[in-house]
Amino acid sequence: MPASCMRKFAGLLALAGACQGTALASQWQGVISGRNETIEIDRASVMPAAGGATAWSRIILDRAVKDPGGNYDAIHALNLYDCKSRRFTTQRRAYFNGDTQVREEEVARQRANAVAVGSIDERLFNVACRAVVAGKPALPFESTGKAGTETQTGERPVAMHADMRALAPDSAARPSLMPVADTTPVVPAEKPKLIVLPPIDKAAAAQAAAAVGQRPPAVPATTGGAPGPAGKMAAPSAPASGAVESPADKRRRELHYANSGPPRAVRKKASAEPSAAVESQKPAMRDIPWSYEGDGGPANWGKLRADYATCATGKRQSPIDIREGIRVNLEPIKFEYVRTQFRIVDTGHAVQVNVGAGLGLRVMGKRFELSHLEFRRPAEERVNGRSYDMSVHLVHRSDDGQIAVVAVLLEKGAEHPLIQTLWDNLPLERDVEVAPEAAIDLNVLLPENRAYWTYMGSLTTPPCTEGVLWMVLKQPVQVAADQVAIFSRVFRSNARPVQAANGRLVKESR
């Protein structure tokens, strides 16, 4: 399928036939069913991917949930399953009210999650991975209490990350879901086979020994062997031509030829340096999730996964210490911000605020759509070595996929009303999105003076993608000390260290 079509219809795989000229019928298969919600996976959407498979699944609720974009009663997501390492990554989410899509979003912080044994994730994982392995049937579906939830054929193959149940309010208070019976036939393990030695050719063995002059003298029947060099027992000799070999001597000679082999190599003393074999036994770094401290910290990001390598090898990484910018007449940033409802979530790495559609900015002849906001403590950006208490990154994306980030520096001072509104709605649990009825105006988050520094950099979190346009507003915005303290209760520190500038050009407004 062309890349353009994939981008256009990534959230609506049922419409992918528009790019291929054919219809794509979904094949919904139930995985978990209960009185209040049902989880299904679309077998028709399972497609092979590097190391595993991608698949859509969905959670269908028994009631509508309020949302700034419109009420929804089903949550859909697209997952990438790594069948070898038993991990999955949620790539996209969509929200539907019946057959009507309310909104769709790409997961901004895509993290690989371990598939826990016995979890809902494992049942979805099994269906996806078995579908791409020959001869492995997918899980069957048996309804366990909700009428009309047998395998369906719908117009929109959609899905969910199993933990997305948390996105549905009051999900914890509802009765537990009942797993669908897994009747996949169990293939018994194959019993290990015994090693079968070839029969001994006694005549050939004796002839080979004689050919190299190693046939020892005859051995008395009572000893089983003659002393050899250094006190070792020599091999029992073959009988002389015409001599009659006793049964005991024959048995000893057969045992010798059956059990003897080439001389064992002398073991070398262990080297003081660890061998490659020992190094290979160390835990793989890729099994460690990225974080801001410990083994998964910024110093090791480039080692955690192959697609994180740019974090270590990139030459245009962010953040930087902004110094020696050239003063020019930079064009003003045209912000197109209006009042909007919002959704706030603790992603485990930052407090992220998702906003409604239609907000954005224009600069350098291009329009960038606002995706979300992220808060950092302390500010990742430095200016001539100076650090700030916090910063907020407004992340935008253009139609051609380029990312533009506006950074607003925050310093202690007066209380900020918009930030207080956000803190009032902080979620109690990680990865649980809160959608309050209050609306916000992001214009009040911007300083009066919109002068800025700009340079080309990268994302400040894995995979550290480069080619990001950075615009750092020069005038800081005040935030109360209590508001900084509240954020520190959630994140002690979530800032990437300053990266090498590598001679990059930095421009600033005159």
Active centre residues (catalytic):
349
Q: Who's near 428: CB < 8 A, 6+ residues apart? A: none
Query: How far apart are alpha carbons 199 and 196 in whole angstroms?
Result: 9
Query: How far apart are alpha carbons 344 and 134 in whole angstroms?
Result: 43
Query: How far apart are alpha carbons 30 and 39 in whole angstroms?
Result: 6
What secondary structure letter does DSSP report for 278?
H
Closest CA to 73 of 8, 6, 138, 167: 167
Q: b/e for 354-389, b at 16 or more Cβ within 10 A?
A: bbbeebbbebeeeebbbbbbbbbbbbbbbbeeeebb
Q: Who's near 470: CB < 8 A, 6+ residues apart? A: 318, 404, 405, 407, 453, 454, 455, 456, 457
Q: Who's near 411: CB < 8 A, 6+ residues apart? A: 388, 389, 476, 477, 478, 479
**Tokens describing residue 280:** 């290979």
Give Cα 253 distance to the centre of its chain: 62
Closest CA to 101 of 47, 158, 61, 48: 158
Give, rounded to a whole angstrom, the gap between the first and last alpha carbons of the chain. Answer: 48
Bridge partners of 352, per DSSP, are 345, 374
Closest CA to 35 of 168, 148, 125, 127: 148
How many CA atoms does the CB half-sphere of 40 hold within 13 Å? 29
Give Cα 370 distance to the centre of its chain: 25
Q: Who's near 84: CB < 8 A, 6+ residues apart? A: 51, 52
With beta carbons less than 8 A apart as the criterion, state whether 213 and 239 touch.
Answer: no
Query: How far apart are alpha carbons 214 and 208 in whole angstroms?
Result: 9
Amino acid at 279: E
**Tokens describing residue 195:** 């090693």
Query: How far apart are alpha carbons 413 and 504 in whole angstroms?
Result: 33
Amino acid at 7: R
Alpha helix stretches (DSSP H) within 282-336: 301-304, 310-313
